[in-house]
Structure 1
């Protein structure tokens, strides 16, 4: 790999990490449209509320179907998604795969009492570069466990 290729690969890895972080930022600022724009038109969004299950809880097959999922965050008073390690597993030209660890805090207030649901998540992603921009082609949201306080 020559210097130019190494530079491009480093730029691609940084752009992918920025994409992952932008997803969390949009979630926490309730920007459902901005969050949707991070996905390809024909994206696959697959939710496993139990990461050990072989059957997904929900499968969506296109960007337009993501709105209710992202808009549902408005049921919480506040959320905070902390992205941990994020690894690009394979990067080839305009495609990549990766995994990101996330701890997502979801706050509600019920009868004046704060309740906090903390989800420990791993995202398994397929990325594609379209028009010089990295997007999610597939995002598997795998909930390892949930803690309620």
Structure 2
């Protein structure tokens, strides 16, 4: 357990803004707001996907905000998604930079004819944040898929 000390109002505001950034990402994903989701990243962002969290080789690596468009558009193949956020931990926060980790259970529903299927992905995001013009953004987001489960829905 970490020892809690008093923090300044500015640090408290930064921590809240970072949490809202993380929540905004999930909200935009579930609403299929790819432009809104992309706006949460720096222009030169680094986005890395590890479909197998135990494999050190990324499945996908992108190097700009614009490169995120097809990744976020891929969510359109689902009838519905729910990204349920778990714990978010800020590891470091100094001035206009920070690092953190967020857990997420991402639910993806597909419908094919009369049958519906659910895929649940256990995700972890390792993030680097940067504050630009007073706004916190993702400078780097590493997405790790820890496990997947698929099942039929009634």
What TM-score, normalized to structure 2? 0.93
SS state at 2:8 partner: helix
Please show how residues 88-107 of structure 1 align to structure 2 within 5 Å: 88-107=90-109
Post-superposition offset of 1:111: 2.3
Aligned length: 146
Residue 58, structure 1, aligned to residue 60, structure 2 = yes
Out of 140, 147, 150, the residue aligned to residue 148 of structure 1 is 150
Post-superposition offset of 1:76: 0.2
Correspondence for 1:80: 82
Please show how residues 1-149 of structure 1 align to structure 2 within 5 Å: 6-149=8-151
Unpaired runs of 5+ residues, structure 2, are 1-5
Post-superposition offset of 1:71: 0.7
Name the CA distance, whole Å, in 1 between partners of 2:44 and 2:130: 11
Post-superposition offset of 1:6: 1.2
SS state at 2:128 partner: strand
What TM-score, normalized to structure 1? 0.96
SS state at 1:52 partner: coil
SS state at 1:12 partner: helix
SS state at 1:45 partner: strand
Instruction: Provide runs of 4+ in structure 1 moved above 4 Å.
Output: none
Post-superposition offset of 1:110: 1.3
Name the CA distance, whole Å, in 1 between partners of 2:149 and 2:12: 36
Name the CA distance, whole Å, in 2 between partners of 1:19 and 1:54: 27
Name the CA distance, whole Å, in 1 between partners of 2:55 and 2:114: 36
Name the CA distance, whole Å, in 2 between partners of 1:80 and 1:131: 31
Correspondence for 2:3: none
